[in-house]
Amino acid sequence: MKRGVNKLKKDSFTPDFLLIDGKFPIPMRIPQQPLIKGEGRSASIAAASIIAKVTRDRIMAQLHDRYPQYNFIQNQGYPTREHREAIKNHGICPHHRLSFRGVKEFV
């Protein structure tokens, strides 16, 4: 989240307040409010969540076209049994998040 906020700042947009979906604030000097189960408590967080999920699904569809062996279209990036088996058989691709369980043990 900090990287995302910093990218906004780099693009000349500094938010004046952050709503955080979760328990912990971002280590930044911008005023913020963490909200546990924020999707159910804030329309802004709920809308951002929908946008994030739709964006993720589109990215995963594009990755599926490039790397069909991982079946990204079906698992949407979650380390399903099928996906872990594909990583075991084909290795990781440049888009795998190396910190994720189900990926890092194959690095």
Question: Which residue, among 102, 91, 67, 84, has the nearest Cα to 59 in the 3D structure?
Answer: 67
User: Residue 77's pLDDT is what?
Assistant: 63
Strands 18-21 and 32-35: parallel
Q: What's the pTM?
A: 0.75
For the stretch 7-66, pLDDT in tens is 998 888 889 999 999 999 999 999 999 999 999 999 999 999 999 999 999 999 999 999
Rg of the chain over Cα atoms, rounded to whole angstroms, equals: 17
Residue 102 has pLDDT above 80, yes or no: no
11 burial (CB, 10 Å; 0-12 / 13-18 / 19+) is exposed
pLDDT digits (tens, 9 = 90+) for 73-85: 887 767 788 888 9
What is the predicted pLDDT for the residue at 103?
81
Residues 41-64: b if buried by 16+ CB within 10 A, e if exposed: ebeebeeeeeeeeeeeeeebeebb
